[in-house]
Structure 1
Amino acid sequence: MAEAAPPFDLRTALSRELCSSSGQYAAPLGDTTQYLTVLGGQIASLAISPAVKALSFYWGSIDNYNTVSFFSGSALVASFTGSQVPAAPADGSQGAPTNNRRVSFGFDGAAIDRVSFASSSNSFELDTVAGAVPEPASWVMLVAGFGLVGAAARRRDPTAVAA
């Protein structure tokens, strides 16, 4: 069974914000907590331990100049820009739900131990990074195992109790 990873701590990241700065950065839609801002020309890296096979985060004002890259050791596993997020116009709209949402990435079994967030212009805003939950096959095996234990317990002969 895949181990569920806790949300990762962004408190040590480059810039944490509670407010917006016109022309610089803005809180992801509906976010009232501190969030990570990666200003133009910067990269924020997040080490992940234990490694995960899927990752999600709340991406605010998705822009085509934002890039997220996933690594296993020093090997690049995958890289995506805001324009590759399905149904997102990637125009930086700060008030549109399609441009401010949780995005999830899977890696065909590769274990990810580092992710980088880069922006070539202002800004890449994100919050609430979370690792994978157990895969559906793991849940099926767990439920089937409980079912077999229950069936075995039900088939047992009742024990006679002497009085």
Structure 2
Amino acid sequence: MSNVVKYSKSVTLAALLAFGAVNQASAANITFGGQAATDNSGLTSQRIDASNVISDPSLGFFVETFDAATSFPAGASGNTDYNVENASAGCQINSPLMVSPSSAGVVNVRRGSVPNEAAAPAGDTTCYAYTTPANEGVDSFVDIDYTNFLANLGDIDPALAGSRIDYLGFYWGSVDTYNSFEFYANDVLVSSITGPELLALQNGDSGNQVDPASNTYVNIDFTFAESFDRLRVVSSGIAGEFDNIVVGLTQRPVPAPASLAFLGLGLLGLGLGRRFKK
């Protein structure tokens, strides 16, 4: 666990409500903190392997790194329509996600930072995505839609068919006051978190490209009723950067509690003891 970011912070629902980060009907639980990704992409979720490679889809976790190297299935071709010319070697939006920017906005996938265009999240030397408005000061957004992905889960693993998404994690880079993330289920907004809210909770500085308080991994656990199918990244300035989007499914395997395992061993011992007494 030495590669886990030490200042991981849990935020209670009451605190989020005080900042307006979650609407009154929401029971989503938001925490901050991830682990150092071994593929040089900064931070990723603690719930998957640090390599960002999904080797066992039956576990019910999937990641979008915007890198062709971590596509699932391995080697699958993805969408390169949003790659930045001469700055996106090895980059792609991995299928089967659907990405659609608003008419007022732009979404790009690239490596590296460019002044007045985009800043890679702290420690991220791999591909990442960002959205900027066509007209600065005007809200624009990019939607990352999981509808088709969810509809075809049975083709990936029959045991996952009918799953919903109840966990979302993402690496939010150089958080700005004009950035926000919104989460929708069947076109209904179920939760959101804005730049000012995160910065206030983390004591971060807007736009800081290196401070861990302004470059953080966000984890959101949704109730079954609030499980979402579309992520919206909103920005009215330069820029809204993000990477390593991880989703977890409701029908992923749940390990048996350790107490039950010990109980099973105890019963086995009793059985063997009786057997040897005969």
TM bin (shorter chain): 0.7 to 0.9
Q: CA RMSD in A?
A: 2.4
Instruction: Give the TM-score normalised by structure 1.
Output: 0.81
Letter in 2 for 1:128: N
For residue 150 of structure 1, give the secondary structure of its aligned residue in structure 2. Answer: helix
1:66 alignment counterpart = 179
Seen in structure 2, the aligned counterparts of structure 1 residues 9 and 93 have a Cα distance that, compared at 3 Å, is closer
* Bigger shift: residues 29-38 or 10-19: 10-19
Q: Are residue 151 (structure 1) and residue 266 (structure 2) matched? A: yes
* 1:64–1:90 contact (8 Å) kept in structure 2: no
1:112 alignment counterpart = 228
Seen in structure 2, the aligned counterparts of structure 1 residues 133 and 82 have a Cα distance that, compared at 3 Å, is same
1:22 alignment counterpart = 115
**Per-residue deviation at 1:47?**
2.3
Q: Are residue 43 (structure 1) and residue 141 (structure 2) matched? A: yes
Seen in structure 2, the aligned counterparts of structure 1 residues 88 and 37 have a Cα distance that, compared at 3 Å, is farther
Q: Give the structure with higher Rg (CA).
A: 1
* 1:4–1:132 contact (8 Å) kept in structure 2: yes
2:62 alignment counterpart = 6
User: How far apart are the structure 2 equivalents of 1:81 and 1:119?
Assistant: 10
Of Structure 1 and Structure 2, which has the larger fraction of its residues in strand?
Answer: 1
Letter in 1 for 2:238: N
* 2:62–2:246 contact (8 Å) kept in structure 1: yes
Letter in 2 for 1:37: Y
How many correspondences in the alignment? 154
2:12 alignment counterpart = none
Of Structure 1 and Structure 2, which has the larger fraction of its residues in helix?
Answer: 2
Seen in structure 2, the aligned counterparts of structure 1 residues 122 and 76 have a Cα distance that, compared at 3 Å, is same
2:238 alignment counterpart = 122
Seen in structure 2, the aligned counterparts of structure 1 residues 60 and 120 have a Cα distance that, compared at 3 Å, is same
* 1:83–1:90 contact (8 Å) kept in structure 2: no
**Per-residue deviation at 1:9?**
5.4
Seen in structure 2, the aligned counterparts of structure 1 residues 117 and 90 have a Cα distance that, compared at 3 Å, is farther
Unaligned runs of 5+ in 2: 1-58, 67-91, 94-98, 100-106, 134-138, 151-162
**Per-residue deviation at 1:36?**
0.6
Moved over 4 A (4+): none
Match for residue 32 of structure 1 among 115, 120, 125: 125
Seen in structure 2, the aligned counterparts of structure 1 residues 88 and 44 have a Cα distance that, compared at 3 Å, is farther
Instruction: Give the TM-score normalised by structure 2.
Output: 0.50
Seen in structure 2, the aligned counterparts of structure 1 residues 144 and 73 have a Cα distance that, compared at 3 Å, is farther
2:56 alignment counterpart = none
